Amino acid sequence: MPRIEDYETMTKISLTKEERGIVSGHMNMLLDSFKELGDIDVSGVEPLVSVLDITNDMRDDVAIKTLSREELLSNAPEQYDGYFQVPRTVD
Amino acid sequence: MGLFIENYNISGADAVALEDSIMEKGRGVTVGSRILKNFVSPFNATVVDRLLDNGFKIAGRANMDEFGLLKLSRDDDNMPTGAIRAVSDDVAAFSLCNDLFGRYRREATENDCCYIHPTYGTVSRYGLVPLASSMDQIGIVCKDLAQGFGLLSYISGKDPKDGAMFPESTYDYTKPAGEITLGVPKSVIEKADVDTQDAITEFIDGFANTEIDLEHFDLYSRVMYILSSAEISNNLSRYDGIKFGYRASNFSDLEDLYTKTRSEGFGPDAKSAIIMGAMMLSKDQYGAYYERAMKVRRLIKESIKFDRYNVIVLPCNIGDDPYENLSLYALSPLAGLPSVSFSYKGHGIQLIAGVKNEDLLLSTWEVCKA
């Protein structure tokens, strides 16, 4: 059985003891239900990534004006001198 | 659950409520989550631009479950979602929302409303907060399906800002649909309560119909949960407290900032989906779950042939367990098919048609209303 704690580290989420109990309950129920998938013969079947039969529609390689620096920074929890501000990452 | 997160006090036949997942320039967008606390949208979703360009008005921002996620835990809040209440209470004529897991499609039928889930790739997702990108689809809550399809004709059609769309610039939902033959999955309908079964029997009597088998039906919910949780886990990885949204106030370093922000910002259903999704995508589990689910998704899509029939009839409820009910609502997003749900003689009915065959759904509804 996979350990929830490993996935907490991976997803940068720290669960409380109570939350871990809830998530663990969901996980056990879901993993148990997923066993039925193992009975299906999928040999030779290609995975379905998108339901559309069309490929991604790429636009022309032409520069367009999108959001300004001010607009992009307007939702930043912290900013400094026109940049996103983060804690010190290099000692 | 309150009706609006923000109420603009606009009502009437041209008033449209937006689920709080659809961007509207200069307005707060929370997706029902603390993780987007204080976020103000710098742009309009394409559907919002198209509504405004065609004379509609925005009634307000409707309350929602966090990210519209499936609630696996018991929920004591029995109030319908804001988008449903806005229409059922006649505050707005329409609501737009992203119904991945069926809550809106079910609640519409329980609250004198209808729901239109359009064909995937016909309504732009630009400006819809992404949840499960291969299935996200803006739909419409309305009182009358003919009016709902009228609204859909304004918001659907190719948008260069969404890279996964069909090429048509407009769709005509009112063209004559031709002969309708209902496909009736008896073994699924028998899971509903007796009164619902009776209502469906009465409903199908008005049409040519044939019994069909929905192969893998019990697996629809499993495949849907595996694939959606994987996509949700990816899409929700952008919430890191750096560029926008909530940031924890006390942290020791960058790693601690990420972890505290996400732990404080997400609710239990989001955390469950993120952790399950990460597991589905992890090296050890990928083949057994995610890849296998993508293969079964293909089998499911290819099993719906629309050969002897062109509209599938389903109930909207087969019990109290939201996870088991999910199989009723998973087919449309898994196969990209359009559906409508509405109440017939007091019981919820869902109709599903082939890709871009919404006209069949409207025609079927019109026959039963006549």
Residue B96 has pLDDT above 70, yes or no: yes
Mean pLDDT, rounded, for B315-343: 95
Q: Does A12 touch chain B (CB under 8 A)?
A: yes
Reported as a single tens digit per residue, the pLDDT across A69-83 is: 999 999 999 999 999
Tell me the ipTM for this assembly.
0.94
Q: How many percent of chain B have pLDDT more than 90? A: 92
The average confidence (pLDDT) of chain B is 95
pLDDT for B51 beyond 80: yes
Q: Which residue of A has its CA nearest to B275?
A: A7
A55 and chain B in contact, CB less than 8 A: no
Under the banding of pLDDT at 50, 70 and 90, the label for residue B322 is: confident
Distance from CA of A47 to the nearest CA of B (A): 4
Q: Residues of A22-47 as b/e, b for ≥16 C-beta within 10 angstroms?
A: bbeebbeebbebbeebeebebeebee
- Residue B309 phi/psi, 5-degree rounding, is -145, 160
Of A11, A50, A72, the CB nearest to B164: A50
User: Do the Cβ atoms of A57 and B164 come within 8 Å?
Assistant: yes
Residue A2 pLDDT greater than 80, yes or no = no
**What pLDDT score was predicted for residue B78?**
75
CB-nearest to A2 from B121, B285, B335 is B285
pLDDT tens figures, B291-308: 999 999 999 999 999 999
Give the max Cα distance, chain A.
58
**Residue A52: per-residue pLDDT:** 86
Looking at the complex, does the CB of residue A10 fall below 8 Å from at least one CB of chain B?
A: yes
- Nearest beta carbon to residue A84 from set B120, B243, B298: B243
User: At B133, is the pLDDT very low, low, confident or very high (cuts 50, 70, 90)?
Assistant: very high
- In angstroms, the CA B90 to CA B15 distance is 10
B107: nearest Cα among B367, B343, B312: B343
Hey, what are A32's tokens?
């148990």
Give the pLDDT band (50/70/90) at residue B103: very high
The arithmetic mean of pLDDT across residues A50-68, rounded, is 84
When pLDDT is cut at 50, 70 and 90, the band that residue A61 belongs to is: very high
Average pLDDT of chain A to the nearest whole number: 91
pLDDT for the residue B113: 98
Q: Is B369 exposed, middle or buried (0-12, 13-18, 19+ CB in 10 A)?
A: exposed
Please give the structure tokens belonging to residue B328.
């009723």
Q: Measured between CB atoms, which of B241, B292, B299 is closest to A77? A: B241
- Least-confidence region, from B45-59, B73-87, B350-364: B73-87
Q: What is the pLDDT at residue B195?
A: 97
B278: pLDDT strictly greater than 80: yes
Q: What pLDDT, on the 0 to 100 scale, is given for residue B1?
A: 75
> Percent of chain B beyond pLDDT 70?
99
Question: Cβ separation of B259 and A59 shorter than 8 Å?
Answer: no
Say whether pLDDT at A91 is over 80: no
Residue A36 token pair: 């039925």
pTM of the model: 0.96
B141, B84 contact by CB (below 8 A): yes
Nearest CA in chain B to A45: B295
pLDDT band at residue B74 under the 50/70/90 scheme: low
Stretch B18-46: mean pLDDT, rounded? 97
Residue A36 forms contact with B (CB below 8 Å): yes
Helix axis angle, B46-53 relative to B145-155, nearest 10°?
110
CA B242/CA B245 separation, integer angstroms:
8
Instruction: Give the mean model confidence (pLDDT) for residues A39-46.
Output: 96
CB contact under 8 A, B222 and A38: no
CB contact under 8 A, A45 and B293: no
pLDDT of residue A1: 64
Using CB atoms within 10 Å of the CB of residue B181, give its burial: 0 to 12 exposed, 13 to 18 middle, 19+ buried.
Answer: middle
Q: Which of residues 168-207 of B touch A (CB under 8 A)?
A: none
Q: Is A2–B279 a contact, with Cβ atoms under 8 angstroms apart?
A: yes
Do A30 and B225 make contact, defined as CB atoms within 8 angstroms? yes
Are B294 and A47 an interchain contact pair (Cβ–Cβ within 8 Å)? yes
